Structure 1
Amino acid sequence: MQVTRSVTAEARRAQILEATIAVVAEEGFARATFARIAERGGLSSTRLISYHFAGKGELVAALVQHVVAGIGAHVGARVAAASTARGRLAAYVEGVVSYADVHRAPMSALLQVAMAGAGGATTQEPSDLGHLERILRDGQESGEMRAFDVSVMATTVQRAVEVVPFRLQAEPDLDCTAYAAELVELFDRATRAEA
């Protein structure tokens, strides 16, 4: 028999996750104690956190999963709506940049976790580039894109969008729409087939 969490338990977990994101984003991973999270979340006791999460490791894993799922949903919808490989590449770049802009606290929290080495494989291993490599291969096969090393290009695109949260921390007024447009133009010129 599969055990499902009640609506109340899911709401409480979400409340704890949001408080954790806020504390980690604003104060750093090292200061994200259960006491600070409980205070930020308006919880009566740290035991509520311990009831819903087996420990800080499980809470951090849930935070990472929550943020990564949010990025995936946001970017995935944009990419799926595009009808060409060039359009999917542009949608990917614009999607990641816009998500980082609109969801600054979760992205900052994810960075803090990664820099602390606390996110496990999700934040410590190189990004899975399969999604980008598929877009690029599709573009080459359809004739939209020129011949190039797909792995090198996918890595370059991914690293260019991964830096956006760092830029936003250093430059909060960064025009992310213009930044994304510049990246789209850069990678379109780098990949498109010559007429």
Structure 2
Amino acid sequence: MGRTFTESARRRQIVEAAIEVIADAGYAKASFARIAKHAGLSSTGMISYYFKGKDDLLREVIAEVMRVSEAYMLPRIEAETGPRARLRAYIESNVELAAAHPRELAALVEILNGQGDDAEGQFAAARQAVMDFQEHLVRTAQADGEYGPFDARVLVTAVRGAIDAVLVRVLRDPQMDVAASARELADLFDRAVRPSEVCMQPHRLPGEDA
């Protein structure tokens, strides 16, 4: 039997409170007592009623962060046409996600750094599936002549690593120009994937023969 509207709303309330507490206080201090107080619940028993334990709650927090990320990024990616435009949208929306949903990402980082194998395994499995699909898209774009010849897995890994590095900077430096950083990173990889025949020709000094 499915959950009632009230049950779903209560679970969501608890998950959102957990995200806030983990982002603000850190994983180690995110006790049920803190989460219950932040959610305005009368006791921690309300959390235990909806979740089997802390690990169960944290799994739902990770799932919620993934849902939020997809809801933010997917419309921007799908609005573009062509692999290069979609790659740009993927990079820019992923970086700008940190500015749009800083608490969700901060909570995710805290969980991954603090919980260990269970959370890391859940997140890694989801990320691996995304990267496998991206590699397929890159190979298709190469076959169609949209991308140049390079190792598709290396590109996908490099994109993911570069985005993660920028996201860490964004979380540590609230004054960082997120939009500008997103554009620069997208520009960098747009140049990297272009077929060689459309790359910029060597620059000639004034007066040199063509």
Q: What TM-score comes out, normalization by structure 1 length?
A: 0.93
Aligned residues: 193
**For residue 191 of structure 1, what is the aligned residue in structure 2?**
193
Q: 1: distance between equivalents of 2:121 and 2:168?
A: 20
Q: 2: distance between equivalents of 1:163 and 1:82?
A: 25
**For residue 127 of structure 2, what is the aligned residue in structure 1?**
127
**For residue 165 of structure 2, what is the aligned residue in structure 1?**
163
Q: Is the 8 A contact 1:34 1:46 kept in 2?
A: yes
Gaps of 5+ in 1: none
Deviation at 1:10, TM superposition (A): 0.7
**For residue 174 of structure 2, what is the aligned residue in structure 1?**
172
Does the alignment pair 1:43 with 2:45? no
**For residue 150 of structure 2, what is the aligned residue in structure 1?**
148
Measured against aligned partners, the alpha-carbon deviations of 1:113-163 in whole angstroms (never above 9, x if no partner) come to 001125141235693112321332232122121000000000000111122
Q: 1: distance between equivalents of 2:181 and 2:191?
A: 16
Q: Which has the larger radius of gyration?
A: 2
**Aligned to 1:119, what secondary structure does the other structure show?**
helix
Q: 1: distance between equivalents of 2:169 and 2:106?
A: 11
Q: 2: distance between equivalents of 1:41 and 1:163?
A: 32
**Aligned to 1:30, what secondary structure does the other structure show?**
coil
CA RMSD between the two structures? 1.5
Give the letter for the 1:110 counterpart. Answer: L
Q: Is the 8 A contact 1:21 1:106 kept in 2?
A: yes
Q: Is the 8 A contact 2:111 2:119 kept in 1?
A: yes
**Segment drifting more, 117-126 vs 159-168:** 117-126
Match runs of 1:16-95 below 5 Å = 16-95=14-93
**Segment drifting more, 133-142 vs 103-112:** 133-142
Measured against aligned partners, the alpha-carbon deviations of 1:73-110 in whole angstroms (never above 9, x if no partner) come to 32222222211000110011011112121100000000
| Identical-residue share of aligned pairs (%) | 38
Deviation at 1:43, TM superposition (A): 0.8
Q: Is the 8 A contact 2:98 2:171 kept in 1?
A: no
Measured against aligned partners, the alpha-carbon deviations of 1:153-177 in whole angstroms (never above 9, x if no partner) come to 0000011112233112221111111
Gaps of 5+ in 2: 199-210
Q: 1: distance between equivalents of 2:126 and 2:14?
A: 28
